[in-house]
Amino acid sequence: MNTNQLTTTTVLSSRLFEIKPTPLGNLLSTTSCPEEGLFATHPIPAYSEIFREAPLINGGPTWLGREAAVRSLDSSKQDAAGRLMGVCHCDTEYCISETVLMMIWDSNNHAADGQEDFIYANGSKINHACVSNCTMAFTPEPKSYVSIRTKRDLAQGEEITINYGCEGPFRYRQEKFAKEFKFLCRCDACINKLNVPRTDHAYRSEHKSFLATDTTPTTVLGIETSAEAAESKEIREWAAKIEKYATGEEQKLHQLYKSLIYAGARSLKQTPYYRPQPVRTWFEMGLMKYLRGDNKYHLDEDTLQCYLNRTTEKFVVDFKSLNMCPGFIYD
């Protein structure tokens, strides 16, 4: 079928979906939220746009910006964020590097190729099926809006599904779901252990111009008010300033360790720069002192500690990846 045959119908002035609990849970771990999905409230013809949506949170690409932005949302949008399912991805017995928002974000984000990722009040609640009945695409401008369209006719009451980007043999899909997405897929293709060819990818490529149109007959959901947009802009600027300072602190520590290694040190304990938990202490004394002095969005201590943990872990991983001194002992 070519794009000239595709239509957008407007059954469509009334909302075409509702959010309801899903009959079968997929997650591998328990959470405080019931698993929910989107379900068609009317029969929906093939190739219809069900809805188009703006991001729920516009704090920019940094964790601090996102944490600040979620605190600035009105109560209805905060409730929408809280209804998204969050699962820990740090693979430790006690999670010390992920806030509730981080878990939600890692479990529900979507991004256009090479672009910033976002979460959506409705779009992020759409569940995966290996052979999906809908597809998600990003609009050309703004690049953060998502468009959800049907790939075939949907019956009233049918769950709306998209493919999260996982196709191929059954065993490969199951392993990827468990490792990356923390869930066990129970779609028909997985129940029947079927191979799923890259049809969804091919569909998106074939109909890319149609699926990401500039205009839409439907009302875009979740657009920020002018006041909300202004506040989001301030948050992004604040977060970028903190991130710039953090990058500077990372570069200083990198240069220090590099100079110590070139001078022949094989352990921080051989140098006057040793402290207990030296990397963490470095960021605590510099970055966190700076952040606490400019915590204009009142991030709580648990959030700050998660940020410190992630910054510390990222530095150690990045520095070790340089392989400048494989045996160098940090603590």
143: pLDDT confidence band, cut at 50, 70 and 90?
confident
Whether cis (ω within 30° of 0) applies to the bond prior to 326 is no
User: Are 79 and 195 in a shared domain?
Assistant: yes
The tokens of 25 are what?
Answer: 């849970």
In a domain, 330, yes or no: no
In a domain, 263, yes or no: yes
43: pLDDT confidence band, cut at 50, 70 and 90?
very high
Parent domain of 286:
229-315
pLDDT at 192 over 80: yes
Of 115, 132, 142, 135, the closest CA to residue 205 belongs to 135
Average pLDDT of the chain to the nearest whole number = 84
User: Are 216 and 247 in a shared domain?
Assistant: no
Region class of 236: left (phi > 0), else alpha (psi between -120 and 50), else beta? alpha
Higher pLDDT, 118 or 197: 118
User: Are 208 and 130 in a shared domain?
Assistant: yes
For 46-100, what is each residue's pLDDT tens digit?
989 999 999 999 999 999 999 999 999 999 999 999 999 887 767 666 666 788 9
* For the chain, percent of residues with pLDDT exceeding 70: 84
For 297-317, what is each residue's pLDDT tens digit?
999 999 999 999 999 999 988
Cα–Cα distance between 316 and 87 in angstroms, integer? 24
Cα–Cα distance between 180 and 106 in angstroms, integer? 10
User: Are 89 and 72 in a shared domain?
Assistant: yes
pLDDT at 8 over 60: no
**Residue 232: predicted pLDDT:** 97
**Residue 215: predicted pLDDT:** 72
CATH number of the domain enclosing 158: 2.170.270.10
**Residue 221: predicted pLDDT:** 95
Helix axes 226-262, 63-72, angle to 10 degrees: 160
Residue that finishes a domain, picked among 221, 254, 275: 221
User: Are 184 and 267 in a shared domain?
Assistant: no
In a domain, 4, yes or no: no
For 208-233, what is each residue's pLDDT tens digit?
545 556 677 778 999 999 999 999 99
According to DSSP, residue 27 is labeled B
Residue that finishes a domain, picked among 159, 187, 221: 221
- In the chain, the number of structural domains is 2
User: Are 191 and 121 in a shared domain?
Assistant: yes
Cβ-count burial of 149 within 10 angstroms (0-12 exposed, 13-18 middle, 19+ buried)?
Answer: buried
**Residue 241: predicted pLDDT:** 98
- pTM attached to this predicted model: 0.84
In a domain, 320, yes or no: no
User: Are 281 and 178 in a shared domain?
Assistant: no
